[in-house]
Amino acid sequence: MLVELLILFALVAAGIVFLVPDEYAGQSAAVLSLVPVGVSLWMYSIFDGTGNALLEGSQPAFETITSWVTLGPYAISWHVGLDGVSMPLVVLTTLLTTLAIVSAWTPIDERESQFYGLVLFMQAALIGVFAALDFLLWFVFWEAVLVPMYFLIGVWGGPRRKYAAIKFFVYTNVASLVLFVGFFTLVFGLGDSISTLGLPAIAQALNAGQLGSIGGVSPSTVKLAAFAALFFGFAVKVPVVPFHTWLPDAHVEAPTPVSVLLAGVLLKMGTYALLRFNFTMLADVARANAELIAIFAVVSVIYGALLALAQKDLKRIVAYSSISSMGYVILGLIAFTPHGVGGATFQMVSHGLISGLMFMAVGVMYNETHTRMIGDMSGMADRMPVTAGVFVAAAFGYMGLPLMSGFAAEVLVFMGAFRSTTISAAPLFTGIAMFGIVIVAGYLLRAMQKTLFGPFRLETDYDIGRAPFQDVAPLFVLLALVIALGVAPDLFYTMIQDAVFEVTALGLGGGA
């Protein structure tokens, strides 16, 4: 019942905050959002799930199945539960929501109750996405995330917010349509072998090779087509190059707290779904096309990093670097080795924290200077030493400094990918992808040198002072988490490994 409680509480909190007057909205939202943080941490501490929730012999924690409606031959259930992959992501969601809310206190100064209400509503939907184990339920949550995000960008965003919001909404919605069609092709192909739309049932049926032909098209073709549709659907969300162009626009226009959630949690919906659908349900197709997918991954890493290098807007730099970091996730997933898939999942959490930290640091500087253009400022460390210090720490975290979570995640991915037998020439792919660690150092050091160091200069009319405590406090919380996970990856990695280990054995010889 705890998952339901979490979702329900977030929804109720959203409703309350909607009604609270603007001046109290921020504080009440923060206080209310502490409850899901507490509950999710408590759930984490008593977590007893084993195995991968989609595969046989597993026992997800906090699982509930209640029959809901019946659509023709299929039973649609309220089916939720958490395994080692989803539990860390739920904790990430609740933590980042609270921190994003606190970081919104300074920049958000109109229609506050609606803003915070939408954030809490989105939190409920995000938890649902990670917890749902029934396809329709999952899809409802998946779509429900888009709506608040659309408004958060479109109402509170920057000058081109309408364009960015529409682009985000249309792009991701088209992707949703495609993945929906792709998934139902599989459902029809499975025919009588399934009687529910539960994800575990479908995953197990597919892995048992029960996919039939549809209209004379052979099962392997059906699978390939469905795989492509699903891959496109999720690749947009991740985003994988070349489906990424909505991301920088959305990030640049979105207010900082929204960027934190967008980069920190929303992108992980894509990689999470890729792991659940493409790499678990259709592991054999993934393996058969491993080199192609690895190319997508490597291109995302290098091309994304090069794009980041070309940017002059701090926020755009961070936005593009997310594309690069998500490329590592894809590389780890396609490796089909314990450290590859486990490291990729760990990277989802780690990147959520580090990119959140980076966006917040940029946001704090923006709050004071009202510019994000590298050329407009110099020597900020002189006026904002604490913020600059955290910025430096965050940037080094992003570069994969050891004893911070990014290093642990990347090294695990690299080790997993290097050894992969699924990708041919795996060491070569891995080696090329690893060049990303040089480029990331290039653009972040360059950005720091130009903005933080050198003689002080600021080309806006604002008189800057030190950032208020409420702006800086979330940075320290995130920094502490990043270091904690870097020193002790096992805080999450043990449960992740337990949940992904069986995935790495999928699609070997079995299936259609």
Partner 1 sequence: MVSAFEFVPAIAVLPLVSFVVALAFGKWMPKKGALAGIFATVGSLLISIWTALTVAGFLGSETAYRETIWRFATGTGTFDLHLGVFVDPLSALMLLIVSLISVLVFIFSLGYMNDEDETGLPRYYASLSLFSFSMLAFVFADNILMAFMFFELVGLCSFLLIGFWFREDAPPSAAKKAFLVTRFGDFFFLIGVVGIFATFGTGLFATEAGFPHMAEQAVAGEMPEPVGGFLGAVGMGAQQWFTVLGLLVLGGVVGKSAQFPLHTWLPDAMEGPTPVSALIHAATMVAAGVYLIARMYGFYLLTPTTLAIIALIGGFTALFAATMGVVKQELKQVLAYSTISQYGYMMLALGSGGYVAAVFHLTTHAVFKALLFLGAGSVIIAMHHNENMWDMGGLKEKMPVTYWTFLSGSLALAGIVPFAGFWSKDEVLYEALIHGLGSPVLLVAWAMGLLAVFLTGFYTFRMVFLTFHGEPRSDTAEDPESVRWNVKLPLGVLGVLAATIGFINMVPIKKLTGLKIDLLHKWLVGSEALNAEFLTGLEHYEPILKNVAGIESSFIAGGEIPTLLLSAALSLGLALAGVGLAYRLYAVEEPVEHTEKLGGLRTLLMHNYYQDEYQVWLAEDVTLPLARLADTFDQGIVDGVVNGVSSVSLFSGDRVRHVQTGIVSNYAALLTVGLALLLVAFGILGGWF
Residues 264-323 that bind partner 1 (CB under 8 A): 303, 306-307, 309-311
Write the burial class of residue 173 (CB in 10 Å: 0-12 exposed, 13-18 middle, 19+ buried): middle
Residues 473-492 that bind partner 1 (CB under 8 A): 487-490
Minimum CB distance to partner 1 smaller for 5 or for 306: 306
Rounded to the nearest 5 degrees, what angle is found at the Cα of 453, between the Cα atoms of 403 and 317? 65
H helices of 336-425, where?
338-369, 380-383, 385-398, 405-418
Q: Which residue has the tokens 């990030």?
A: 251
The least CB distance from residue 130 to partner 1, in Å, is 21
H helices of 134-266, where?
135-156, 161-190, 199-207, 219-237, 246-253, 256-261
**How far is residue 424 CA from its own chain's centroid?**
28
Distance between CA atoms of residues 132 and 501, nearest Å: 21
Report yes or no: 316 and 252 within 8 Å, Cβ to Cβ. Answer: yes
The least CB distance from residue 207 to partner 1, in Å, is 20
What DSSP string describes 46-74?
T---BS-TTSTT-B-EEEEEEEEEEETTE
Site string for partner 1, 50-89 (x = CB under 8 A): ---------------------xxxx---------------
The least CB distance from residue 392 to partner 1, in Å, is 8
Considering only 272, 296, 418, 429, the residue that binds partner 1 (CB under 8 A) is 418
Helices H, strands E: what count in the chain?
22, 4
**Region for residue 72 given its phi and psi (left: phi exceeds 0; alpha: psi -120 to 50; beta: otherwise):** left
Does 47 bind partner 1 (CB under 8 A)? Our answer is no
Question: What is the SS3 assignment for 501?
Answer: coil
Q: Which stretch binds partner 1 (CB under 8 A): 22-30, 32-40, 113-121, 171-179?
A: 171-179
Minimum CB distance to partner 1 smaller for 104 or for 240: 240
Considering only 19, 41, 217, 438, the residue that binds partner 1 (CB under 8 A) is 438
Write the burial class of residue 501 (CB in 10 Å: 0-12 exposed, 13-18 middle, 19+ buried): middle
Considering only 121, 135, 169, 429, the residue that binds partner 1 (CB under 8 A) is 169
Minimum CB distance to partner 1 smaller for 39 or for 404: 404
Site string for partner 1, 442-461 (x = CB under 8 A): x--xx-xx--xxxxx-----
Number of residues counted as binding partner 1 (CB under 8 A): 83
Minimum CB distance to partner 1 smaller for 269 or for 409: 409
Strand 377-378 vs strand 74-82: parallel, antiparallel, or unpaired? unpaired
3-state secondary structure 111-171: CHHHHHHHHHHHHHHHHHHHHECEHHHHHHHHHHHHHHHHHHHHHHCCCCHHHHHHHHHHH
Does 411 bind partner 1 (CB under 8 A)? Our answer is yes
Distance between CA atoms of residues 256 and 27, nearest Å: 18
Minimum CB distance to partner 1 smaller for 30 or for 244: 244
Considering only 59, 195, 221, 245, the residue that binds partner 1 (CB under 8 A) is 245
Residues 327-366 that bind partner 1 (CB under 8 A): 337-339
Residues 127-156 that bind partner 1 (CB under 8 A): 143, 150, 154
Does 324 bind partner 1 (CB under 8 A)? Our answer is no
Minimum CB distance to partner 1 smaller for 221 or for 494: 494
Q: Which stretch binds partner 1 (CB under 8 A): 45-53, 267-275, 358-366, 432-440?
A: 432-440
**How far is residue 450 CA from its own chain's centroid?**
29
**Region for residue 134 given its phi and psi (left: phi exceeds 0; alpha: psi -120 to 50; beta: otherwise):** beta
The least CB distance from residue 143 to partner 1, in Å, is 8
Residues 202-231 that bind partner 1 (CB under 8 A): none
Residues 363-382 that bind partner 1 (CB under 8 A): 379, 381-382
Does 19 bind partner 1 (CB under 8 A)? Our answer is no
